[in-house]
Amino acid sequence: DFNIIMSVGMVIIYIFILSANSLLITLFLDTVHDLRPLQSGLPLLLVALLQLLATPFCAFLVLKADTRLLCATGVLLMGLACYQGTFITADWVAADFFPMAILFAIGHPLVFLSRAMPCSCCSSGSGRICTSARQAAA
Q: What is the DSSP letter of 97?
A: G
What is the pTM assigned to this prediction? 0.67
Q: Is the pLDDT of residue 70 over 80?
A: yes
DSSP at 94: G
119 and 136 Cβ atoms separated by less than 8 Å = no
Return the closest-CA partner of residue 92 out of 81, 84, 80.
84
pLDDT 10s digits, 76-115? 998 998 898 888 888 887 778 888 888 888 888 888 887 7
Region class of 127: left (phi > 0), else alpha (psi between -120 and 50), else beta: left
